[in-house]
Amino acid sequence: MKILIVDDDALIREGLELILKMEPDFEVLGAAGNAQEALEICRRKKPDLVLMDIRMPVMDGVLGTKHLKNQFEEIKVVMLTTFMDEEYIKEALKCGAEGYILKNQPADSIIESLRAVAKGNIVLEREVATALSSMLREGKKTTPEQLAISPREFAILKLVGEGCSNREIGRELKISEGTVRNYVTALLEKLGFRDRTQLAIFYIKNCE
């Protein structure tokens, strides 16, 4: 997986680069100090994933994500930040970010999150998922019967809404990752959504 690191703090950029370069399945293409630089690098090098800070000079990470997704829909974006600001979370996900994680996580957790996103999962750190839940919760809860899905499908929808990866869902429900993928695909078809992000937000808004 080819990764671009975007952060205005040189020490953090260098630290992340050292950590990620130690992983045999990661290739760090470079680093940028703001989202404008990141866009220019993306045009030249076409990374698979951009690890994006939020608060940066020239162009911040949220606006950068919006421009990046408009130009390169296939490039995945994970927001890595110290800020638990609700507006940042909402705007980053609205702009197409596949993940939102915090810098205070252990390196192993960040690495696992990047691998999960590379496999097509959405990654929200627990604190972020909780904040998103409180932002979007409204009205009456929607039941599995109203959605015309099975209790097992509803259980998987719940775990997707909590930001769990396929591996974590499989471990929790004692089923294989392949089975989880099949359930997620079925949920997308039944509920008429395009991706896991929409599933997660639907669950948080309507079912919690």
Q: What is the pLDDT of residue 6?
A: 98
Residues in the chain: 208
Higher pLDDT, 133 or 88: 88
Where exactly does CATH 3.40.50.2300 map onto the chain?
Answer: 2-134
In this model, does residue 164 exceed pLDDT 60? yes
101-138, pLDDT tens digit by residue?
888 888 998 999 999 899 888 887 766 666 665 555 55
Which positions ≥6 away from 186 have C-beta within 8 Å? 153
Q: What is the pLDDT of residue 139?
A: 47
Predicted TM-score of the model (pTM): 0.65
10-62, pLDDT tens digit by residue?
999 999 999 999 999 999 999 999 999 999 999 999 999 999 999 999 999 99
Cα–Cα distance for residue pair 165/117, rounded to 1 Å: 9
Q: Pick one of 2.60.40.3470, 3.40.50.2300, 3.60.21.10, 3.40.50.300 as the CATH number of 2-134.
A: 3.40.50.2300
**Quick one: CATH architecture of 138-206?**
Orthogonal Bundle (1.10)
